[in-house]
Amino acid sequence: MNCAECQDIIHAYQGDELEEQLLAETEAHLASCPDCRHEAADLLASLARLRATFPDQMPPAALWGKIQAQTRKQETT
């Protein structure tokens, strides 16, 4: 695997979506290539920033009641 191939699939590597053989090739390349390791670390950091910006939130408690009211209205018409 060369750097271009590695950087092409580094997103899938971070997303844990690589097949076994490709995963092994990617990890072997990362172990030997500081540039691609840096690229992978950068990607991971930006994803962490993204996730920190959008924490999971609870939906409003009134949502179920509103949906029930709407669906009941539909059923009676």
x/- map, 11-50, other proteins, by CB under 8 A = xx--x-x------------------------xx--xx-xx
Other beta carbons within 10 Å of 15: 10
Q: Does 76 participate in binding other proteins (rule CB under 8 A)?
A: no
- State which of residues 21, 74, 76, 77 lies at the interface with other proteins (CB under 8 A): 74
| C-alpha–C-alpha distance, residues 63 and 77, integer Å | 22
The enclosing H or E element of 38 equals: helix 34-53
Min CB(24)–other proteins separation in Å: 20
